[in-house]
Structure 1
Amino acid sequence: MQDKHSKLLTLWSMKGKRSAATAAGFSLGALATSAAQVLAPNSLQFNEHEFQRSPKEAQDAAREAAKLVKPGDLVFITTSGLVYSVGRYLTENAYDHVVVVLDERTVLHVGMPSVKLMPLERLLLPQRQPVVLRVPMPEAELQLFLRCARQLIGCKYDVARAYQLMLRLVLKRLTGSTPLPRLPLDVKTNAWICSDSIMMLHRIQRSLNQGEARDRSRFVTLTIAVLLRGLTNGLYLGCILAARTTSPDIFTLGSASMTDFQRIRRIQPDIISRVPLPVVNYTLAPRNRSWRAFVPEAVRFVQSVQDGTLKWPLLAPEIFPKVHEFAASMPPASWPVKRKIQALGYVIVLLLMLRRGLTVKRVLLRAVEVLMLRYVAHHVMLHLQSSPAFGAAKL
């Protein structure tokens, strides 16, 4: 049985490497990287010497916190900066990233451009406001879980899925629901986002441990069912109980958010426990900065837009093809999509300066409602035009 597990894990790893090697043409990851370097310089993919450049007090605190962390733990963090702060606010997520602890020194980082290892102490720096959660597992299951996690190293980060999940979370916050369909789990590309990868790892670990994955096709079938069937028995029960009182994003949107882990922990605290870190150096909940602290960063962002040095991945047609098509059809038709987005950005900045966000929220809410109404009306007309009764009435 152990040999079968090894073969399955090897096939999975080879699949990820082949998909990464055959990527050609438009590089969405490279575009997102160039944008992130301008908008979010504090992201984990940059500033590799962050730990060495941090104050000695922060380094000592991270080293002490690392002694309390065990392999298999989940570390949730926040990233400083305007873009990540706005993203957490719009999606109602207290954290923007999660990693898996592999050993006493390294973690599994599922981020752009691909999955790789990172030092544990860097993730535990106090400025990232880390929170450590632990899922109790027997030793044999834990080791299998860690083996599965290491097979993700080298796989691509699913940039498009990350932005599509963010769009659905924003619509859910503004309107209470989203007209967009559930996100499917596409195993052909073998590209992941951090929250989905952790959900998947728990499910695959349990399937391999029970001997369910007897061949490659069965393994892929189990992988596809991850977001639909849940995790280990305890976490799956937590998702079901959370669904009765709340609306977990893994069920409603097809992809897991950071808030889903908090929902499970509130409903079933014995399934996911919190590892206490020293309160002298760490916060119990992330602190929100004043909007005035982001003014210099916003000014630099506007300057980069005016200079034409910013390449924003959301403008790529591969991210939101229908949204891109709709934006291209909006008047004035002579304007390119990039110019229309720039004009919209200037309007939003002006509204923020006038009413500190209240007017922006109202305008965006009305705009979303109009777009949803137009979308529904368009499909109703297409349905009527395709019906025989409509053709007879037209004659």
Structure 2
Amino acid sequence: MPKLRLEQAPAATLPLRFLLAMPCWGMAGGMLLLIDGDAPLGARWHPATLALVHVWTLGVLGNAMFGSLLQFLPVAAGAELCWRRSAPWLHAVFNLGVLLLVAGLHAAARVPLFAAGILLPLAFLWLAAMTLPGVFAAAGERLLRAGIGAALGYGVAAALAGGGLALLLAGGRPWSPAAVDVHAAFGVLGWMVLLLAAVGRLTMPMFQATGSVPARAQAIWLAGVALALPLASAWHLRHGTGVVLPAVAAAGGGAFALAALGLQWPVPAARRNALYRHWRMGLVALLLAAVSLLAGRGLLAGALALGVGLPLLVGAMAMEIVPFVTWIALRHRVPRGVQIPGVQRLLPDASKRRALLAQAVAAPCLVLAVVWPQSWLARLAGLAQLGAWAVHGHALLGALRGARAFVRCVERPA
């Protein structure tokens, strides 16, 4: 287990502004389902579908991964962040870009699409500029740094491709469905899954009491994904269709899910906390998404991966990071000699279990609405999503409220 470098932790507001935006976007996704009914769940190219997908991939997952990475790199990987003071502007540019993209896709509006096509690639390039120099300069943990570096590279590539597609839409020009497939594969497998696998190598033993994948096996998987993804993408662009790219995406994501489930298996029942159960449910959903993709059920695969599996994984990690960040902030603010509440007291396991229960209700509603498209069922799924992310957001805010109450108690005159 690596030594945590608490003295290098960024200001609490840096990761928190991203992590607290995540449930807001989750609730926005629920609102879209309430408004649009089954339209986003019945056809891949429907404007409502494109809007909802980017609420999930950028609003929910993007904010969670930006915030987690900006906290994880200095504390766990020893990688210095460049331009820390620019983080509020990065948050504003990224979330404004997401808002404009979702609005532009939903309404087929050219001006928001044009602005989003510029802002979102800029945000990813900005994140890479803040993080990659420190990743390359840090000592040790070569496999971790290689995984994070590859993920950031694919994230930037996905953003540039997506920005180009948004600009084409804004200009009323046709774009290739094969290019959209490559953009999606780079974003989901290259950016999200690679980053989760790299970070999970440290966080799963730390928080879930699991073992680790052998370094050689993870290095082979990382190299295989990093090389196969561009080759399969080139084949897909050349031929316009085919099973090669879906097979690579399914194999890479499925292998990650299977390996993580295998690591969880020996953990004794007494240590299977809420984070463990969040990840178990998310990994099963991700594995089912890989099977659905191989079976040609793209919409179902998207709902399982983007609406259920990946949000469970990153959302559970956010419920560990937010109280940890808050605890570090308390250490700096409270006078020496005053005992501060532990991380688990700031966000108790009971609150995490309530969030898991809410997601366990919302997930089958969403999957059923895709399998059996009905307007009332889609709206029920939207209501469940809205409730689940409200519970999640309430849990995160509970950690902040607890810390504020403790500070007021300490600072109250005797």
Q: Tell me which protein shows more helix as a share of its residues.
A: 2
TM-score by length of 1: 0.27
If asked which structure has higher relative contact order (CA below 8 Å, sep 6+), I would say 2
Q: Tell me which protein shows more strand as a share of its residues.
A: 1
Larger C-alpha radius of gyration, 1 or 2? 1
